[in-house]
Amino acid sequence: MKNKLFILLTLSFLFFVLTACTEKEEVENEPASAETEEPENPEESEEPVVSEEVEPTGEVVEVTITATNFEFDIKEIKANVGDTILLTLEDGSGGHGIGIDEFNVDVSGGNTVEFVVDESGEFQYYCNLVCGVGHDKMIGTLIVS
């Protein structure tokens, strides 16, 4: 009886781990855990240049990122201060989202978000839906000059 229970629990755990990226979930805004925090890097410790009320320049940067299990197909987005970014996220496999904390961006698969980049610097974007074992590797960089 104990062996059957052990096997059932083991199979249930494996099923959960292997299918974690294939189920879409609605996740409420929760504080980032210590595992998703950006490691401290002396080169990145410079304060970004914040502009006083930046007006959109009229330049629109359209970006479509496809998320598959544990990676984004675009690792770097480049824009200028004042540009409007139209960011679309497509789910290639599994359920994913993109967060860019500095610009209050939170978009889930199949959706588009529009925002104006009003400060220069390098900003990390990341998968904000926990999707499985390789979740923490789903990052990219928004470079604003």
| CATH code of the domain containing 136 | 2.60.40.420
Q: What is the pLDDT of residue 7?
A: 67
The verdict on residue 68 lying in a domain is yes
The verdict on residue 22 lying in a domain is no
The verdict on residue 15 lying in a domain is no
3-class secondary structure, 64: strand
Q: In terms of residue numbers, what domain contains 73?
A: 57-145
CA pair distance 108, 143, nearest whole angstrom: 21
In this structure, are residues 54 and 118 in contact, taking their beta carbons and an 8 Å threshold? yes
46 Cβ contact partners less than 8 Å away, ≥ 6 residues apart: 121
Catalogue the long-range contacts made by 33-40 (C-beta closer than 8 Å, 24 or more residues apart): 35/136, 36/126, 36/136, 38/124
Task: Report the number of distinct structural domains present in the chain.
Answer: 1
The verdict on residue 27 lying in a domain is no
The verdict on residue 131 lying in a domain is yes
CA pair distance 66, 52, nearest whole angstrom: 33
Pair of tokens at residue 18: 């292997």
Q: What is the pLDDT of residue 11?
A: 58
Q: The whole model's pTM is what?
A: 0.61
- Written as tens digits, the pLDDT of the chain (145 aa) is 666 666 656 555 545 444 444 444 443 444 444 344 444 444 444 444 444 456 677 799 999 999 888 889 999 999 999 999 999 999 888 788 999 999 999 998 889 999 999 999 999 999 987 777 777 889 999 999 9
Q: What is the pLDDT of residue 8?
A: 59
CA pair distance 57, 53, nearest whole angstrom: 12
Q: What is the pLDDT of residue 24?
A: 42
Pair of tokens at residue 135: 């979740």
Q: What is the pLDDT of residue 5?
A: 60
The verdict on residue 5 lying in a domain is no
The verdict on residue 66 lying in a domain is yes
The verdict on residue 99 lying in a domain is yes
Q: What is the pLDDT of residue 66?
A: 93
Q: What is the pLDDT of residue 38?
A: 45
